[in-house]
Structure 1
Amino acid sequence: MSIDANRHKDLPRDIQFDTEKGVDFVLNYSKAIENLCVNQFMHMFQSSWSDFADFEKIFVRIKNTISEYVMKHWKEDFMFGYQFLNGCNPVVIKKCTKIPEKFPVTDEMVNVSLERQMTLEEEIEAGNIYIVDYEVLEGITANCTDPCTLQYIAAPMCLLYKNAQKKIMPIAIQLGQTPGEDNPIFLPTDAKYDWLLAKIWVRSADFQYHQNITHLLRSHLITEVFAIAMYRQLPAVHPVYKLLMPHIRFTIAINTKAREQLICECGIFDKANATGGGGHVQLIQKGVKSLTFRSLCFPDIIKARGLDNKEELPTYFYRDDGYMVWEATKSFVSDVVHIYYTSDETLQEDEEIQAFIKDVCSFGMQDFDHCEFPKSLKTREDLSEYLTAIVFTASAQHAAVNFGQLYLGSYPDEHFTEKPVKEAMERFRTQLVEISLSIKTRNEGKKLPYYNMSPDKIPNSVAV
């Protein structure tokens, strides 16, 4: 459930963009449009492309080392696999423990891609096979940008192999969920452009998943749920209000802007995306069914996908950096919680915080049985984890799939004045600086450095 406002100007004045943020929003929006040449090339987004050089026309204006490297190597299998680990959507890949019946890949098909003289089943047992599955895209209505131009949406599956160099390489792709003669399994040994086109369809599906579920639903919209509950149930003097305020600041405003300009009827989504024209609504509705509270807890979701062993997948920097930021955030949040709640009983007796927790579940998540959001919290440890999930989602997780503005740990508005909390903030900042330095050291000399989870590049809130 989102706020009941159709336009930004309909919002309560204290949650609208302030003058500085309003100007910043307009300038950044204009700059992004200019950099991407969207106005100049909008016709390209609404029609078929005839040449791979068209990609270069779109991205020629984006100048940084990483984008230029990706532009040069995007057709290669290693880059295709690497993006599942450290690209803009590093949340779909999971360890494969059994080949699904709907994806009948055989050892004979992929044996040429396996490097250890092991069968496919043996590679699975050894933990070397991974999978991505875009089943959620099955049945989503494709956009029609004009009466004559129907777009298409695939719901592919891709099998990936960790080779001897521990690079993740694609070894099989099926573009639909139902196997059959009209839905073949594509392999690296196929004709060059058949295999490349199959990978492009997977990347297209990944884009739709990323934009609608990873980015919009699981960072923007879920943060709005917490923000609304906070404003409804917590007074401004409550310590949890003070803790959360910097991390939900402007979130409702940016989301309202998105509903007003981006995902509205005839907005940019409708003009340029295959899931525009209503498909994005269907996709988000399906995505909500997998939106549980535990899936917002970073260590839990990494473990659930079987990717928690660093030795097995040493180049999964999103995971490694995310762990560090999660633990630092949880340590800070726990410090604040223990300053204000001297026992679990004091937490249980806090009617305002309990009303906040219940509001998120009963109003924001509409009491969906599958969501498993708590309706009350009994221990300080549970509250610390709950608040950490909110702060992490609004800051680090959003940064990993988007980009930053005000860096994490910066609190320009003095909500807390108590000395113990200020000391906790200082410890938090110190930890974040140390994490940033370790990430910088790790990235030195890498052709593809990963900075998305570096605290000095993480925004405080979902405000961009």
Structure 2
Amino acid sequence: MTHQYSLTGLPTQITPVEIQQDKHQPTLAPTRPNPTQPEPIPAALKAARRKYQYNYSHIAPVAMVDRLPKEELPSRAWWSKLIRTMFKILSNAIVGAHNHHHEHEAEQHASRLIRKTLVDILRQRPEVRWRLIWHLLKTAPTTLLNGLRLSFSDAESLLHSLAAHLEHDLLRILHLNLKEHLAHECGQDRPTSIADFNQQFATIPLPECAEYFQEDEFFAYLRVAGPNPVLLQQVRHLSGDILCSHFPVTNQHYQTVMGEDDSLQIAITEGRLYIADYAILAGAINGNYPDQQKYISAPIALFAVPSADAPCRNLQPIAIQCRQSPGPETPILTPPTDQNPDQKQAWDMAKTCVQVADSNYHEAVTHLGRTHLFISPFVIATHRQLLPSHPVSVLLRPHFEGTLSINNGAQSMLMAPEGGVDTVLAATIDCARVLAVKGVQSYSFNQAMLPQQLRQLGLDNAEALPIHPYRDDALLIWQAIETWVTDYVSLYYPTDDSVQTDAALQAWAQELQAEEGGRVPDFGEDGQLRTQAYLIQALTLIIFTASAQHAAVNFPQGDIMVYTPGMPLAGYQPAPNSTAMSSQDRLNQLPSLHQALNQLELTYLLGQIYHTQLGQYEKSWFSDQRVQAPLHRFQANLLDIETAIAERNRHRPYPYRYLQPSNIPQSINI
């Protein structure tokens, strides 16, 4: 007979047949009769440990999976969404490149491109050649007999059917062919005006931010509602008239923007002064792939909230210094006024320097490092140490779907030399990898709990900083997940002792921290799981990061970062070295039209695929009937949050939709 733990912690007998019929029924290992004897390793865990092995060289020295197990390959539903999105990108690129007025002409070009992709696969990949031919014989014999000539709609259907068979080969070769096509059609034309970038949105809708991306208010709003909403920090100290040794902002700078009734000291005392410091980028090496010199700096930007009696209390930009060290060629720039209207171009260039820094920090640190790479060890350790029937495994696995697969694609394609990141980001690919590693290694697990993180940054005070959409919406999601996890954990771990005596759970915690395991910084309570309260917080952070946090930092790519003038991923002219810059200098700072298309393509692909939804688990995933009531409460809470955020967006300067529960996938799968 096999044992299962009941709510009281006493083992109750169930038959092996019952286990097979109820594969997601959570079970805990019973107390061993002889604790001095080693626990025999179940066959299922032995098999999992052979499949899920650590690799520390993909993005060294971060823990990733060595080889992707076939169980981790994307589902057909995911591939369908990916292919559909790629077709949108393909159509947009071809219509824009050829300036077609008739859709069928663009479809002809797209069909030829897809035919070339299939031919390339047949030529380049002999190991899949016969699989592809066999699949075509079964599903599209006429297409094969016609030499792979096919209509646009047939091509889309064919790629959908091939996706599960060819996986990353299809994506990689289609992507390369599209890049080659765009390079031939678009060349390296420099923009003559911002309108040139707008014309690249031929069939993909022009983002809303194209209307107001140059406004100072929107620039400041992105610090609290953009792709990187947890870099801003409250300024808590002031020494004389110097903000800090390497950013000598004066009261005159401040009052130029905020008026003479306010001051730096008053703003600091009231908690209304904030800074965005990109010092981590100071050692970044400027890249030049594919064929142009790129630039990135390490700017510092100062922001303030108007006083409590002001009619509008939106965050305002005060000053920008484009490098870490002040000097004659690194002026402190402030927004233009009636007294200094000639500074507009220099100010706009300074804002672009911040946007370039923010986007590079976002992609390497906030996005890749602190969501994708952060979650990866938890996926591996869960498979290696917890049986599928273990209650923690049952809770977590839906939040791990697709993560190892997308991370494998990231390290082998996106983060590879001459890959997508190397193409569009400002720094070299080696530098981007180092930044990602720094991001995850410096991210203490125990300090990453959202409420604590907001307190540490000084972003938790809604009176001092009333408009912070990420903070306000993220806390709602955090609290809903925390309540759900509390209800769930309480069913299986009613006491601290029940946590401490679960040998599998303790082994999971130890592997996560181990140098030969997950290498997760600062996990556990003195290296162990000692309390129910800590287990709840840990699981809340894992689920929140895999769902809401990734949504908050991933999906702004699809409607903010996709618009190159508003947030270029690289600068193409050095930071402004004076207050007298021309409109041509400003334009020269932006990418070529071809590079802008590369950015549009990459960010739209990453920012437009929504697969699964937070709280919507597979039917009958939780076979333990005790879970149903807490699950329904969780789903009801998410519906209430959806309504609350929609109401908040009616009163915000700009809508913030990334943390609406309907826009949050269960896992990191793109």
Letter in 1 for 2:627: V
- 1:53 match: 195
Letter in 1 for 2:463: E
Q: Secondary structure at the residue paired with 2:464?
A: coil
Q: What is the aligned counterpart of 1:441 among 647, 652, 655?
A: 647
Q: Which moved more, 1:198-207 or 1:256-265?
A: 256-265
Per-residue CA deviation, residues 163-220 of structure 1 (Å, 9 max, x unaligned), is 2311111111011111222222111135110000000110110000111111111111
- Tell me the SS of whatever aligns to 1:155: coil
Cα displacement (A) at 1:412: 1.2
Please give the residue correspondences for 1:130-141 in structure 2 after superposition, counting only pairs within 5 Å.
Answer: 130-141=274-285
SS of 1:171's equivalent in the other structure is strand
Q: Is 1:84 aligned to residue 223 of structure 2?
A: yes
Shift of residue 362 of structure 1? 1.6
Deviations 1:233-280 (A, max 9, x none): 111010000000010111001111122221112111122221243221
- Alpha-carbon contact 2:216-2:317 (below 8 Å) kept: yes
Once the two structures are superposed, the pairs formed by residues 295-306 of structure 1 within 5 Å of their partners are 295-306=447-458
Counterpart of 1:25 (choices 71, 77, 82) is 82
Aligned twin of 1:112: 256
What residue is the counterpart of 1:418 in the other structure? Answer: 624
Q: Does structure 1 residue 71 correspond to structure 2 residue 210? A: yes
Q: Deviations over 1:318-363 (max 9, x none)?
A: 1111111101101110111110012111110111111111222224
Whole-Å Cα distance in 2 between the matches of residues 45 and 90 of structure 1? Answer: 35
Q: Is the 8 A contact 1:46 1:145 kept in 2?
A: no
Q: Distance in 2 between matches of 1:167 and 1:364?
A: 48
Structure 2 Cα separation of the partners of residues 258 and 135 of structure 1: 26
TM-superposed deviation, 1:41: 5.8
**Map of 2:552 onto structure 1:** 400
Where do 5+ consecutive residues of structure 2 fail to align?
Answer: 1-51, 59-63, 97-177, 238-242, 556-609
Equivalent residue letter for 1:423: A
Matches within 5 A, 1:196-207: 196-207=348-359
Residues 270-291 of structure 1 show CA distances to partners (whole Å, capped at 9, x for unaligned) of: 2222124322112113323421
CA–CA distance in structure 1, aligned partners of residues 457 and 667 of structure 2: 26
Structure 1 distance, partners of 2:268, 2:202, is 41
Q: Which amino acid aligns with 1:195?
A: W
- What's the CA shift string for 1:358-409, capped at 9, x where partnerless? 22222488658xx322221111010000000000000010111123331110
Aligned counterpart for 2:480 among listed residues 328, 341, 349? 328
Q: Is contact 2:54–2:66 with CA below 8 Å preserved after alignment?
A: no
**Shift in alpha-carbon separation, 1:92–1:62, aligned structure 2, 3 A:** farther
Matched, 1:151 2:294: yes
Deviates more, 1:404-413 or 1:31-40: 31-40
- Counterpart CA distance in 1 for 2:369 and 2:537 is 21
Query: Shift in Å at residue 49 of structure 1?
Result: 5.0
Q: Per-residue deviation at 1:446?
A: 5.2
Out of 108-117 and 37-46, give the one that drifted further: 37-46
Deviation string, structure 1 residues 428-450 (Cα, Å, up to 9, x no partner):
00111111111112223656221
1:12 to 69, 80, 97: 69
- Unpaired segments of 5 or more residues in structure 1? none
Distance 1:352 1:156, change over 3 A: same
Considering only CA atoms, is the larger Rg found in Structure 1 or Structure 2?
A: 2
Aligned match for 1:359, one of 489, 511, 516:
511
Q: Which moved more, 1:434-443 or 1:13-22?
A: 13-22
Aligned counterparts, 1:145-294, within 5 A: 145-146=289-290, 149-163=292-306, 164=310, 165-189=312-336, 191-294=343-446
Q: Quick check: 2:305–2:314 contact (8 Å CA) kept in 1?
A: yes
SS state at 2:316 partner: strand
Given the alignment, which residue of 529, 533, 536 partners 1:381? 533
CA gap 1:29/1:365 in 2 versus in 1, 3 angstroms:
farther
Distance 1:221 1:367 in 2: 11
Report the 3-state secondary structure (helix = DSSP H, G, I; strand = E; otherwise coil) of the residue aligned with 1:410.
coil
Secondary structure, counterpart of 2:429 in structure 1: coil
Amino acid at match of 2:625: K
| In structure 2, C-alpha distance between the alignment counterparts of 1:117 and 1:45, rounded to whole Å | 53
Instruction: Report deviation, 1:52.
Output: 2.8
Deviates more, 1:315-324 or 1:184-193: 184-193
TM-fit CA distance, 1:55: 3.4
Greater mean alpha carbon deviation, residues 284-293 or residues 84-93? 284-293
Tell me the equivalent position of 2:522: 372
How much has 1:311 moved relative to structure 2?
A: 2.2
Query: Matches of 2:472 and 2:655 in 1, distance apart?
Result: 13
Q: In structure 2, do the counterparts of structure 1 residues 196 and 13 end up closer, same or farther at CA, with 3 Å as the change threshold?
A: same
1:121 equivalent to 2:240? Answer no
**SS class of match (1:453):** coil
